[in-house]
Amino acid sequence: MSNWRRKTIKELVDLNIIYPPMDGNHGETHPKGNDFIESGIPFVMASDIENGKINYSKCKYISKEQAEKLRKGFSIEGDVLLTHKATIGRTALVSKLSIDYIMLTPQVTYYRVKDEKVLSNEFLKYYFDNSTFQELIKLMSGSGSTRAYIGITAQKNLYIKYPSLFRQKQIAKVLSDLDAKIEVNNKINQELEAMAKTLYDYWFVQFDFPDANGKPYKSSGGEMVFNEVLKREIPEGWEVDDFLSVANITTGRLDSNAEVKNGEYYFYTCAANPTKTDSYSFDDSVILIAGNNAAGNFHVNRFTGKFNAYQRTYVVTANELKYLDYLYQVVFRQMKVLKTRGNGSQTKFLTIGMLNNIHVFETNSNLMEEFSEKTIPMYKKQVNLMNENQKLSELRDWLLPMLMNGQVRVAHSQADGNLGEVAQELGMVAEERANYK
């Protein structure tokens, strides 16, 4: 690493390599609750940054008129974001925007490269992700405390180590290609989820499941009867019952700190995605429901195999396995309703009573079996992609510190290849045009 430079953030500013880092507006100019609207300029909080990206689907929005009243926090395409208050160390690169800018809260700092011949913004993002940098800012901020904070002044004392621009781009290319593959897999999983949801809506909402002749039931004149519980017509012969008539609910047993990086088994907490741990308490086909969430986002997952769960995560099994895929879609559909009914003024939480109030259909067994036969292949594909993403993430996280400290170097290759032996050690092959030495 003898040819790597080492500069503080303040020095990078003084050398005109980056612009002065900036966060969002404090005090009276900070937008209030009644300033938020359905769409407009994204107002990005620390919690909106997830897995290296901005989750625009969950962030708040303000009008352009409101944004123009603010003094700072205008972040543009290409900025590197770093969370520095309460939630420490999350990063994102602001990708292509259809608007001029997004707005940041005081929880988020943007870093903007000024001299692109010296520093790559992608490299800077991954440098922030490196465990050495992450440990340092969390130590300096008092991470773990409700008042964890590292302000702009303190951030300027942090060091950045960087090689030649060519090497920066090589490093960033390897890591960003892995992230791109993970993102492709995530999009495929979202499409598979949408396909299963469409089938559920067609069969159990519109009631156009295949009749005895293979034709859409309701559209082909199938008999419908009024149901007093749902206050609507349902297919003749169907019954409406409570959730627990066809399912069992238990909870996990572990504390949230039971996570073990690169552990053997999936660990489901109240977060959107599982982490890992070293032990399992369940070995079954289940639905997992987050029992609490500050914003009332009660995440729902489906899993088969050995896993563990947090003590506020509900683990749902079906009395008959053929009902499980149907129940997953029912629960998933009900989450928006339950979000408005969750108890708690600070952290919203669900109760088993709330889940039991979900209505389910009792139909002939063949229909549930047919639905399960159509959705299980989608689910298996999702699991395969989730497992592949886990290995891709492990590979990226393994490479990142070694690339950043010079233990591993990227040798440019003209031929299309892959991550080769490094990837094979993890039992997968990731598409990449680089090799290592």
Contact 271, 394 (CB under 8 A): no
Supply the pLDDT for residue 120.
Answer: 98
**Three-state SS for 105?**
coil
Give the closest residue to 175 by CA, choosing from 132, 133, 123, 134. 123
CA distance 175 to 396: 6
Give the closest residue to 103 by CA, choosing from 80, 138, 74. 74
CA distance 372 to 404: 47
CA distances from residue 271 to 47, 251, 412 in whole angstroms, order as listed: 12, 15, 38
Paired tokens of 207: 């009631």
Contact 378, 410 (CB under 8 A): no
Supply the pLDDT for residue 405.
Answer: 87
Q: What is the pLDDT of residues 349-358, one digit of tens each?
A: 888 999 999 9
Q: What is the pLDDT of residues 192-222, one digit of tens each?
A: 999 999 999 999 999 999 999 999 999 999 9
**Three-state SS for 430?**
coil
Contact 247, 317 (CB under 8 A): yes
Paired tokens of 298: 């009660």
* Dihedral over alpha carbons 398, 140, 121, 426 (to 10 degrees): 10
Q: What is the pLDDT of residues 89-98, one digit of tens each?
A: 999 999 999 9
Q: What is the pLDDT of residues 364-420, one digit of tens each?
A: 878 999 999 999 999 999 999 999 998 999 899 999 999 998 888 887 653 344 444
Q: What is the pLDDT of residues 107-145, one digit of tens each?
A: 999 999 999 999 999 999 999 999 999 999 999 998 766
CA distance 385 to 175: 19
Paired tokens of 51: 């897995």
Please count the other Cβ atoms lying within 10 Å of the Cβ belonging to residue 154. 14
Kind of pairing between the strands at 102-104 and 41-44: parallel
Please give the model's pTM, rounded to 2 decimal places.
0.83
Q: What is the pLDDT of residues 23-62, one digit of tens each?
A: 988 766 778 888 899 899 999 999 899 889 999 988 999 9
Supply the pLDDT for residue 422.
Answer: 43
Beta pairing partners, 390: none
DSSP assignment string, 388-416: HHHHHHHHHHHHHHHHHTTSS-EEEEEEE
Give the closest residue to 68 by CA, choosing from 25, 114, 124, 8. 25
Write the single-letter amino acid at 191: E
Structural domains for the chain: 5-162 (3.90.220.20), 244-329+337-349 (3.90.220.20)
Alpha-carbon dihedral sign for residues 131, 184, 335, 54 = positive
- Do you know the residue count of the chain? 437
What's the CA angle centered on 56, arms 52 and 58, to 5 degrees? 105
Supply the pLDDT for residue 257.
Answer: 85
**Three-state SS for 191?**
helix
Averaged pLDDT score across all residues of the chain: 89
CA distance 98 to 104: 17
Give the closest residue to 150 by CA, choosing from 21, 262, 256. 21
CA distance 249 to 352: 8
Q: What is the pLDDT of residues 263-296, one digit of tens each?
A: 899 999 988 889 899 999 999 999 999 998 766 6
Q: What is the pLDDT of residues 332-346, one digit of tens each?
A: 988 877 776 655 555
In which element (H, E) is residue 127 found?
Answer: helix 121-129
What's the CA angle centered on 252, arms 323 and 259, to 5 degrees? 120
Supply the pLDDT for residue 285.
Answer: 96
**Three-state SS for 200?**
helix
Supply the pLDDT for residue 27.
Answer: 67
CA distance 398 to 6: 23
Supply the pLDDT for residue 395.
Answer: 94
Supply the pLDDT for residue 231.
Answer: 95
* Dihedral over alpha carbons 179, 184, 190, 191 (to 10 degrees): 180
Q: What is the DSSP letter of 182?
A: H
Burial degree of 359 (CB within 10 A; 0-12, 13-18, 19+): middle
